């Protein structure tokens, strides 16, 4: 979106070799949230779970995991990369007002069950 150069945004490389790269960030002042697109490189590994994405985003951007909602994760067919669309709120009450309940539940579920 913004000017040239190869560095698009903050990058986080996990010990597992998975790389998270911020592709774009948009400040939505009306709803008091950041709308972020993350590219995830996961060579030889499956698509990261929502909770793995939330954990990485909170480390990458220095925000509380409780204020992060993963809207969608898309893995490109036949590739070891995915894109995640994430909303980051300033306040939990605002998050609960604008995000669907099922996404809030998916973003706070413990690993093991379904999604």
Q: Give me the pLDDT at residue 9, please.
A: 82
Q: What is the distance between the alpha carbons of residues 115 and 111, in angstroms, rounded to a whole number?
A: 8
What's 12's DSSP letter? E
Q: What is the rounded average pLDDT for all residues in the chain?
A: 87
Q: Which residues contact 52 (CB under 8 A, 6 or more apart)?
A: 18
Q: What span, in angstroms and rounded, lies between the C-alpha atoms of 69 and 5?
A: 29
pLDDT at 34 over 70: yes
The pTM assigned to this predicted structure is 0.83
Helical axes 101-108 vs 50-61, angle rounded to 10°: 80
**Domains of the chain and CATH, by start:** 11-108 (3.30.70.330)
Per-residue pLDDT at 53? 95
């Amino acid at each position: 979106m913004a000017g040239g150069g190869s560095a698009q945004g903050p990058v986080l490389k996990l010990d597992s070799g998975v790389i998270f790269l911020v592709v774009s960030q948009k400040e939505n002042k009306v709803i008091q949230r950041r709308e972020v697109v993350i590219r995830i490189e996961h060579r030889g590994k499956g698509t990261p779970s929502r909770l793995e994405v939330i954990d990485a985003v909170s480390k990458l951007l220095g925000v509380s995991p409780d204020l992060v909602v993963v809207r969608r994760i898309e893995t490109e067919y036949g590739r070891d990369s995915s894109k995640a669309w994430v909303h980051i709120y300033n306040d939990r009450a605002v998050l609960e007002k604008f995000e669907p309940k099922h996404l809030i539940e998916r973003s706070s579920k413990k690993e093991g069950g379904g999604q």
